[in-house]
């Protein structure tokens, strides 16, 4: 397969404790593609409460700002320490939020990449970071590979499961996955209770075959009271998938429902990397 190569991979780092885990995924991808890794960290703004009952002195605000800057420097050092021995080219991007929310600013800096690597949400990420993987997916125009916080990370792109529903978002995510596929990759396209997905399964399979991808279409109906997310993760486990490909979509214009319920549950329960696009 001759697919567009990854040349720039952004690694979003809200906390130093995530660095080694995310680089465990990022460095092999960069080596495989001869890509440059760009570490991205946005220094949070200090929240100043308008409530008169909350007293925040100038000294406290300055101390908090200095603490955030110290955290940023620790993250930069962890990133550099993790990447340097690999020989992979790297850059560091660190900025204040300015007037923007933290995740919006992070998305802006990630827009320069061919691929963004980010973490599944975890409670060890400081609340001040305002970290939200769904905000990153929705805010950046790039595919985002979300890495689970625990479990084995196997070589990526050998056994790939695509959650297919025929939507624009699912199509974009599927084609965004092509540069991540290993030679002779095996792929499954799974449509779960999706009439729109069912009518396009075979056509999508043929489209992928023109890229040299061997994909097997699978249409299933939910049973045993399982949810769509449970069926997708169950099929991923049975297939021993090393990556799940998922479109970020919803059925309402309301912000809280744009990130569909099944998607939210998958990101909560995921045990394998999930590639998302919106």
pLDDT at 49 over 70: no
State whether residue 254 is helix, strand or coil. coil
205-216: average pLDDT: 96
State whether residue 150 is helix, strand or coil. coil
pLDDT at 96: 74
Cβ neighbours of residue 1 closer than 8 Å, sequence gap 6 or more? 178, 181, 183, 211, 212, 213
pLDDT at 26 over 80: yes
Q: How far is CA 18 from CA 55, 150, 269, in A?
A: 33, 11, 18
167-188: average pLDDT: 94
Task: Report how far residue 149's alpha carbon sits from residue 133's, in angstroms, rounded to the nearest whole number.
Answer: 12
- What band does 59 get if pLDDT is binned at 50, 70 and 90? confident
Mean pLDDT comparison of 121-135, 154-168, 257-271, highest-scoring range: 154-168
Percentage of the chain exceeding pLDDT 90: 58
Question: Is the CB of residue 180 less than 8 Å from the CB of residue 156?
Answer: yes
- What band does 18 get if pLDDT is binned at 50, 70 and 90? very high
**Domains, the chain:** 8-147 (3.40.50.620), 159-277 (3.40.50.620)
pTM: 0.90
pLDDT at 62: 81
Task: Report how far residue 194's alpha carbon sits from residue 181's, in angstroms, rounded to the nearest whole number.
Answer: 25
pLDDT at 246 over 60: yes
C-alpha Rg value of the chain to the nearest Å:
20
Structure letter (DSSP) for residue 201: H
Mean pLDDT comparison of 105-109, 128-132, 154-158, highest-scoring range: 154-158
Q: Which of 99-103, 134-138, 270-274 has the lowest mean pLDDT?
A: 99-103
Mean pLDDT value across the chain: 87
Query: 168 is written with which tokens?
Result: 């624009």
Cβ neighbours of residue 57 closer than 8 Å, sequence gap 6 or more? none
213-223: average pLDDT: 88
pLDDT at 50 over 60: no
Task: Report how far residue 37's alpha carbon sits from residue 149's, in angstroms, rounded to the nearest whole number.
Answer: 20
Task: Report how far residue 244's alpha carbon sits from residue 189's, in angstroms, rounded to the nearest whole number.
Answer: 10
Q: Which of 28-32, 96-100, 166-170, 270-274 has the lowest mean pLDDT?
A: 96-100
Task: Tell the residue number behind the tokens 């991923």, with chain if given.
Answer: 236
Q: In 44-103, where do the E strands start and end?
A: 90-96
State whether residue 214 is helix, strand or coil. strand
pLDDT at 251 over 60: no
Percentage of the chain exceeding pLDDT 70: 88
Question: Is the CB of residue 10 less than 8 Å from the CB of residue 139?
Answer: no
Q: What is the total residue count of the chain? A: 278
Q: What is the DSSP string of 5-39?
A: PP-EEEEE-S-GGGHHHHHHHHHHHHHHHTPEEEE
Question: Is the CB of residue 268 less than 8 Å from the CB of residue 138?
Answer: no
Query: 57 is written with which tokens?
Result: 């002195």
pLDDT at 249: 61
Q: Which of 66-80, 123-137, 246-260 has the lowest mean pLDDT?
A: 246-260
């Amino acid at each position: 397969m001759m697919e567009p190569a990854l040349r720039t991979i952004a690694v979003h780092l809200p906390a130093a404790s995530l660095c080694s885990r995310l680089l465990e995924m990022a460095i092999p991808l960069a080596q495989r593609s001869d890509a440059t890794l760009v570490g991205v960290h946005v220094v949070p703004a200090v929240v100043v409460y308008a409530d008169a009952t909350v007293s925040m002195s100038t000294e406290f605000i300055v101390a908090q700002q200095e603490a955030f800057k110290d955290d940023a420097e620790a993250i930069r050092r962890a990133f550099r320490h993790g990447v340097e021995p690999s020989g992979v080219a790297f850059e560091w991007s660190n900025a204040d939020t300015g007037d923007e929310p933290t995740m919006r600013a992070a998305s802006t800096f990630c827009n320069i990449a061919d691929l963004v690597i980010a973490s599944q949400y975890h409670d060890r990420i400081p609340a001040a970071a305002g970290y939200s993987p769904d905000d990153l997916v929705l805010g950046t125009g790039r595919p985002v590979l979300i890495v689970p916080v625990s479990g084995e990370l196997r070589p990526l792109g050998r056994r790939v499961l695509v959650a297919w529903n025929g939507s624009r978002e699912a199509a974009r995510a599927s084609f965004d996955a092509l540069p991540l596929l290993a030679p002779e990759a095996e792929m499954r396209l799974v449509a779960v209770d999706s009439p729109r997905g069912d009518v396009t399964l075979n056509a999508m399979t043929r489209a992928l075959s023109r890229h040299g991808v061997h994909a097997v279409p699978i249409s299933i109906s939910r049973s045993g009271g399982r949810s769509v997310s449970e069926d997708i993760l169950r099929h991923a486990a049975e297939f021993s998938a090393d990556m799940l490909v998922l479109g970020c979509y919803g059925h309402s214009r309301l912000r809280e429902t744009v990130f569909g319920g099944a998607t939210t549950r998958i990101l909560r329960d995921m045990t394998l990397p999930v590639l998302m696009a919106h």
